[in-house]
Amino acid sequence: LLDASDEHSGKLINDMYAPQVAHLNEHLKDLNPKLSPGLRQQRAAIITAMIDGMMLMLEDADSDISENEAKIEIEMRKQIIRIATEP
């Protein structure tokens, strides 16, 4: 979003997250070798954004769950694994 409104800030943020995305991309290559390089890059970016965004939401994420429902860390892990392993 910042990239759309402020090109300089968007580039700085992209540059800041590029190493994390690249690191995840390598893990995805091992985990799901049939993914094309483009899909692998997209999924690495999605997972990076999920992890980063969740850091801001952890305090309130579990405020309305019942005792038998999984905490956000468990749900997040499930979704990341789904994204990483989906064909």
pLDDT, tens digit (0-9, with 9 covering 90-100), for 17-74 = 999 999 999 999 999 999 999 999 999 999 999 999 888 887 888 889 999 999 999 9
Query: For residue 60, what pLDDT is reported?
Result: 86
pLDDT confidence of 85, banded at 50, 70, 90? very high
Query: For residue 5, what pLDDT is reported?
Result: 63
Distance CA 37, CA 74 (A): 28
Average pLDDT (65-87) is 94
12 contacts: CB under 8 Å, gap ≥ 6 = none
Distance CA 78, CA 82 (A): 6
Residue 9 main-chain phi, psi, to 5 deg: -65, -40
